[in-house]
Structure 1
Amino acid sequence: MSGDGNCSELVSSVAERPASPELTMALATVLIFTIVVDIVGNVLVIISVFKNRKLRNAGNIFVVSLSVADLVVAVYPYPVILFAIFQHGWKLGDIHCQVSGFLMGLSVIGSVFNITAIAINRYCYICHSFKYDKLYSHRNTTCYLCLTWVLTVVAIVPNFFVGSLQYDPRVYSCTFAQTVSSYYTIAVVVVHFLVPIGVVSYCYLRIWILVIQVKRRVKPDESKLKPSDLRNFLTMFVVFVLFAVCWGPLNFIGLAVAINPLAVAPKIPEWLFIMSYFMAYFNSCLNAVIYGVLNQNFRREYKRILMSLWSPRLFFSGIISNIKRLSMCHLSFAGHA
């Protein structure tokens, strides 16, 4: 493996020029579409879970958390990338660059950790249903959610010490520089991508095995699987697969560059590198669409919300009613505690 000093020199040699005008316009188009769908879709997800009692459960708390992670990039990093594209370079200074890179990492790592938390939740719900209520009590679920975001922040902080958040003119983004440190890049890919993907794959594989056994009557239906449970599982499985497909190319490019930067980095075609970013950026708007397509409860709630927007009074009265109902539930719970 080559030394980190040689890796640092590659930052300027490999990423010294912006992308071609065609690729730049394609990136801008993808970003504009992603920002709009990301904001509209994920806001719909959050409101749907808040309004619909059937959607308010421990598993969907992580779905809301995943939507928040997706929203982060649409609110700040993507718009400043668009600004850099229209300005033909980064004009916002180093502070905005570091903040943009930090929030990008917060969204990406938060997404993969939340997807992992969702997979573990689905595994416990389907494969260990009798222990599920105890494992995912209100208090425990809150702790799991906090732990997910604490680990996310902890995972990003080392970037500031390594100096790996840098501007790349090829994608007009302040992002993780794969060539700053070979060892650190390998660690990032393994800990932030390969290990979570492995955990999620294990959980979903065990679920698939149980479902097949129940269907073939090889194993008694101890988990009391319902059709709605299988649909919810399928929805989150598709979310996981699309995340792996969208982020896989960029991570594997980073891993290949880290293993042998002097040999690999100059040989990676510009279009392949930029396309891997296209796919990664695009993923943040997909989850809300998947919920609407595959989950009947989300789809119905989307329609109710969109229809109620034609009557704002009805929309806000519904929100107020939900707030009052939740307040009464918490008061009742406190009284019995």
Structure 2
Amino acid sequence: MMLDDSGQSHCTVCCCTLVNKILMVVFMILLIFAILFGNAVTLAVVLGTKPFRTPQGYLKASLAVADLAVGIFVVPLSVYAEISLMINDSTPAWTQATSLTTPFHPCSFIGPMFAGCTLVSITTIFLLTIERSIAILKPLHKDVVITRKRTTILIALSWLSSFSLAVSPMLFSSDIVLEYNACSRMCNYALETSSTPTPAWNILLLFPAFDFTLLGGTVVINILSLTTIRQHSRKRKHLAENDNNTVARPTFSDIKAAKTIGTLTIAFTASFTPIAVFVVGHVIGNQWCNFSFFAFWILTTNSCWNVIIYSVRDQKFRHRANQLLVPSQVNHVSEM
């Protein structure tokens, strides 16, 4: 999912002035702290609280780990490159195309890390949607079908398949490599021998094809679940009046969780769409240097949105997060 030609200058992305460069670095540093803090809170709530250690909680933890990896590995490398540019007025030697022949290029690790974590996020949101749809559509079968063991296996398979797909372009074609790109400020896929797209470049279409297949399926399943929730709401009063206990109905928490997953799907689809457009455009020969910067960093900022969505949509999560962040409130309540 990460690609661009390396011949562009840093000044092509509206950052020729020192002030703009400083603002860019500040933005990246703040983003690192937001990603680390938000996802650390998510892991603390999900893994540190027994009621949250459910199949859904495990999936949320997997999503948080993928986002944490972006904040730990991907963004700091961009910060280092930009600070080096400001101090030395030149990018580090490893950011140059000629450095691809060095024994170890940082992008050989960072590039697949970003691509793999993005794919893990999409896959996990899809699995979360499946899990919630079963709880809504088949509430009596939820505990039988959705187990911790099966969820753990699916999480492992999602990570394995996502990172396999992330490195597949370099395995399928020797013309595709990873290098630091001056336009996106990230490690991107690039052509090793030429800046002119070749048939091998079409391998990168695997990313948008895979992503939009999962996102499309996720949207359809979410629509089906939300439609069922609406029908349930309409019938709830009638069922209560007739005291029809033979009808299996989703719980209130299942309904809230389904709506939360729907919000996650909308947020991720909105953040990923620019990248998909950029990949397709680049494969057919468009450069889009400025667009590549905004597309990649819009996607990166999505790594800190999950905890905000949980906090807004899930009252139990918000309450537990407040307890962890402000323990004095817990002590005060217990003393009273």
Indicate the TM-score class for this superposition, using the shorter chain for normalisation.
0.7 to 0.9
Whether the 8 Å contact between 2:132 and 2:254 is mirrored in structure 1 is no
Tell me which residue corresponds to 1:99. 109
Matched AA of 1:228? S
In 2, Cα distance between equivalents of 1:79 and 1:254:
24
State the number of aligned residues: 296
User: Counterparts of 1:307 and 1:17 in 2: how far apart (Å)?
Assistant: 43
Q: How does 1:254-265 map to 2 (within 5 A)?
A: 254-258=279-283, 260-261=284-285, 265=286
Q: What residue number does 2:226 align with?
A: 208
User: How far is the alpha carbon of 1:137 from its aligned partner?
Assistant: 1.9
Task: Quote the residue 2:47 is aligned against.
Answer: 50
Pair 47,31 (structure 1): closer, same or farther in 2 beyond 3 Å: same
Q: Is the 8 A contact 1:84 1:91 kept in 2?
A: no
Instruction: Give 2:235's aligned residue.
Output: 217
> Which segment drifts farther, 153-162 or 59-68?
153-162
Report the counterpart of residue 292 of structure 2 in structure 1.
273
C-alpha spacing 1:91/1:298, structure 2 compared with 1 (3 Å): farther
Mapping for residues 210-249 of structure 1, pairs under 5 Å: 210-217=228-235, 222-249=247-274
More displaced 10-residue stretch of structure 1: 238-247 or 85-94:
85-94
- Which residue of the partner structure matches residue 174 of structure 1? 187
Unpaired runs of 5+ residues, structure 1, are: 1-7, 315-337
- Superposed CA RMSD in Å reads 2.7
Q: Greater shift after overlay, 16-25 or 61-70? A: 16-25
Length-normalised TM-score, structure 2: 0.80
Measure how far apart 1:164 and its partner are. 4.1
Give the fraction of aligned pairs with identical amino acids, expressed as a percent: 18
Pair 1:293-2:312 in alignment: yes
Aligned-pair distance for 1:223? Answer: 4.6
Structure 2, unaligned runs of 5 or more: 86-90, 192-196, 240-245, 332-336
Kindly tell me: are residues 25 and 254 of structure 1, through their superposed partners in 2, closer, same or farther at Cα, counting changes over 3 Å?
Answer: farther
CA distance in 2 between partners of 1:60 and 1:283 (Å): 19
Mapped contact 2:36–2:68 kept (Cα < 8 A)? yes
Give the superposition deviation at 1:299.
Answer: 0.6
Corresponding position of 1:128: 138
Deviation for aligned residue 1:230: 1.9
1:17 Cα deviation from its structure 2 partner: 4.7
Taking the aligned partners of 2:186 and 2:227, their CA distance within structure 1 comes to 42
5 Å-filtered alignment, 1:63-74, equals 63-74=60-71
Q: Distance in 2 between matches of 1:232 and 1:42?
A: 18
Question: Would the alpha carbon gap of residues 279 and 126 (structure 1) be closer, same or farther in structure 2, given more than 3 Å must change?
Answer: same
Structure 1 residue 226 displacement after superposition: 2.6
How much has 1:138 moved relative to structure 2? 2.6
Matched, 1:154 2:173: no
Aligned residue in 2 for 1:302: 321
SS of aligned partner of 1:76: helix
From 250, 260, 285, the equivalent of 2:275 is 250
Q: Report the Cα distance in structure 2 between the residues aligned to 1:206 and 1:30, rounded to whole angstroms.
A: 39
Query: What amino acid sits opposite 1:104 in the alignment?
Result: F
Cα distance in 1 for partners of 2:139, 2:273 equals 32
- Aligned residue for 1:224, secondary structure, equals coil
